[in-house]
Chains A and B, each alone.
Chain A
Amino acid sequence: MTDVLPPASHAGVKNRLAITLGHYSSAGAKLENQDFHGALQPEGADLAAKGIVLCLADGISTSALGATAAETAVKTFLSDYYCTSPAWSVRTSAERVIAATNSWMHAQNRRVLGPVPSDSERERGLVCTFSALILKSRSAHVFHIGDAQVARISGQSVEPLTELHRVDLGGGESYLGRAMGVNRAVEIDYRQVPLVPGDLFMLSTDGVHEYLSARMIVDIIEAAATLDVAARIIAATAQAGGSGDNLTVQLVRIESLPDGGIEDLVGAETSLPPASVLAEGQGFEGYTILRQIHSGSRSHVYLACDDASGAEVALKILSTELAEDPAALSSLLLEEWILRRLDHPNLLRAATHYRARRFAFSVSQYVAGQSLHAWMLDHPMPDLATVREVVKQLASGLQALHRREMVHRDIRPHNVLLDRDGRAIIIDFGSVQVAGLDELAQRPLEAAFAGTIQYSAPELYLGYPATRQSDLYSLGVVAYQMLTGHLPYGPRVAAAGTRAAQRKLTYTPVMHYNPDVPDWMDAAIRKAVNLDPARRYGELSEFVVDLTKPNASLAPAGLMPLFQRGSVRAWKIVSGILAAALLASLLTRPDVAGPSPTPEQEIIP
């Protein structure tokens, strides 16, 4: 983690996620303990971004490898979960890790047992149940496969948050319906529940919860001095109640919760005072301001020189109006947090160096170049290859964002820089929506409407959240505008705030403004900017490919009405010639051209 934690004096006053743990595991009546459990309670940025993990696994008793399977599942989960991107949601992170562990176990089993093992052979491999409880911000996330249990204990009741994946054969016989390592893909139950301080959760294997009533569990916990003691007594009571299985219990009590905001992540920086407008030559926080790059009603961006390293950086501060706005401040600080997690040639990079700060601002790499907006004004009719290249690069940058479960939400020509090598770089990340952070705090959608509104997808005006398809729409509009200088639905998409109003918007084919564009490229753009997000491309890469070569499945090529298809200029020329001919014929008419001599006049001298 590259984040620098806030100074202790600041951190002390803030609420944080704190828990009390208790756990116990024993072989019980059996010889070997095939259960395995673990918990990890990280500090600092990991605590905010990924949360606290508790998990347990129960190795299948028919297999000699049951214990190994359980240990592998738990240890892998604890280490790999914290290696996933902090931008990912808890669900994505955990499910990816579980799926990977499952397929590794499955592959091991197949290697040993052959491609098509019988049911009895299958039961001898690496097979186990797996249940995890992840506490992040103000929510608990439950992941579950098999017949262990995660339960919430509130008052006198024990509420199971999971169901047993068990198939009953009758006569007391049953087998595990779902487990890790059995199939190539594993279906994982997921559930999210809100947390309140004082919440108590119990994770237990089937040897425990099947032999105890809710009443007994509650009484034991109430009577016990600590949760560790409670866990031990619960296990002992289950064994005394007739359990012949391994016994594992984990108890966790929520002592305090964080405020649930991005402050949990970027630390006390949100309480830093805003910087005032800077001047050229001014020294600021170890940087020297060289010149102003951008100045607007929302922010100011300066080219600055890092006094320590001599590197040129772009330094961004909030405008006077937004300086007091906590949401704007969060966006500014998050922008740098996001940059630090991205590494892609078409995305702006964070500045390499980080120092503690006295004012709130963000620093990034400086890219010398021209905004796409300015470039478009210089090149009103660019060649198709250039447009394709820019769109391809932007799509590539967006894909990198989307893989991290981020949605940009503000793709527009002002937010794209073309550097001196012709590379297109997405520069502004102030509106980016990050799945992993939305679990901390829902940020206002307003950010999506920052700046110009012509590139936001129409579904956003209906109040729907932004998706990857919204970014695709924006990219489609940028492509359309590069080719034509116009907007696909005219300037009034933002004014259409209802579905009915949106249905009245009509798409103008690219060829209407630029007859040089082939109709199959128009078909691709038309699909990318479809008003209905479900009818756009599923993937950005499909759009890029369809811009490069005709896609036969798209486009009623050649079926367009004549007046839409033809070049306006040709019709103007034809009309001009006809008008000229008409004028000529009028002027040469006998009654207009003046009296021509009549025979009588010729006779008269």
Chain B
Amino acid sequence: MSYLAPSEFVTKLVDAGESKILMSTKDTLIRAYMAGATLALAAAFAVTINVQTGQPLAGAVLFPVGFCILYLLGYDLLTGVFVLAPLAVWDKRPGCTWNGVLRNWGLVFVGNFAGALTTAVMMAVYFTYGFSTDPSEVGQKLAGIGVARTLGYEQYGAAGWLTIFVRGMLCNWMVSTGVVGAQVSTSVSGKVIAMWMPIMLFFYMTFEHSIVNMFLFPTALMMGGAFTLGDYFWWNEVPTVLGNLVGGVTFTGLMLYSTHIRTSPKRQAAGLKVAA
């Protein structure tokens, strides 16, 4: 299993960012749609495991399958492009502008949302026998999650909002490390292992992931969660997206770029020769 040198995989990340910005609208939307749908399905899978085993760790350990599937298939998550796209602009790649970055983010957001919503509707049908019975146990659990992670934050006011934002930051620090992980190795097994670790961490810690939430909350609403669409956006999705953006760009993108691409010259210790 070959491990790439940091300067190699960071250049690959910049290349990836460039191709995201320059990708056609059609491709961007399709890839984002499928990424949203796939990740949502994995979230449903993980919640089901948690309900059935009563052990949150089991769900967290297995949730990364969704992430691995969508990255191996070349789909794009908003959390990933938050990190990748700006790299190309910082590296002054021709044709890569902040306008292009915002366009990409906008399209990927729309695609992810549509994908997650599709899965949410299908899962809602699944949980309720086509809306003809009360939600199954998993459905009720999802409704509970929806209330806890909107109104639960709201009761703390601004502090609650800040908490979601910070959880969003922590989330994308880990998730985008998973994106980087997909590049550090040239083999499928290496990629999967490198992606698995940070995703598992974020899911167990219930950090706020904008796309997972695009599934959880619409499903929760359909399962009868006692909160409004406005609650969902203001007390969850908006701070989560912003937190994901800040966390991904600062902890992952900027850091890797400034140390592995804009490498500072080595410090020369007096009287010491650099060893081979």
Contacts and interface: CB of A to CB of B under 8 A. Distances in A.
Contacts of A481: 94
B94 A320 contact: no
Given A277-B5, A321-B2, A452-B18, A492 B24 contact: yes
A297 B96 contact: no
Interface in A409-449: 413
A390 to B, nearest CB: 16
Contacts of A377: 92
A487 B95 contact: yes
Contacts of B273: 281
Contacts, number: 70
Contacts of B275: 281
Nearest to B23: A495
Interface in B66-117: 92-97, 100
B207 interface: no
B35 interface: no
Interface in B1-22: 2-5, 7-9, 11-12, 15, 18, 21-22
Interface SS of chain B: loop
B274 interface: yes
A295 B11 contact: yes
A320 B2 contact: yes
Nearest to B183: A297
Interface in B153-207: 186
Contacts of B7: 295-296, 300
A495 B107 CA distance: 16
A277 B6 CA distance: 11
B95 A297 contact: no
Interface in A481-507: 481, 487, 490-492, 494-495
A226 interface: no
Nearest to A454: B94
Interface residues of A, number: 28
B94 A487 contact: yes
Interface string A283-302: 10000000000011100100
Given A487-B94, A487-B95, A491-B100, A281 B5 contact: no
A581 interface: no
Interface in A244-274: none
Given A297-B9, A297-B12, A495 B274 contact: no
Interface in A339-395: 373, 377
Contacts of A283: 276
Given A280-B266, A295-B11, A491 B95 contact: yes
A279 interface: yes
Contacts of A495: 22-24, 27
Contacts of B24: 492, 495
B66 to A, nearest CB: 26
B8 A297 contact: yes
Interface in A280-338: 280-283, 295-297, 300, 319-321, 324
Contacts of A321: 2, 4, 8, 12, 186
A296 B4 contact: no
Given A319-B8, A454-B94, A492-B24, A282 B276 contact: yes
26 contacts: A277-B5, A279-B274, A281-B275, A295-B11, A297-B4, A297-B8, A297-B9, A297-B11, A300-B7, A319-B4, A320-B2, A321-B4, A324-B2, A324-B186, A453-B22, A454-B94, A455-B94, A481-B94, A487-B95, A491-B21, A491-B97, A491-B100, A492-B24, A492-B95, A494-B22, A495-B23
Given A454-B95, A495-B23, 11 more contacts: A277-B5, A280-B274, A283-B276, A297-B9, A319-B8, A320-B3, A321-B2, A487-B95, A491-B96, A491-B97, A495-B27
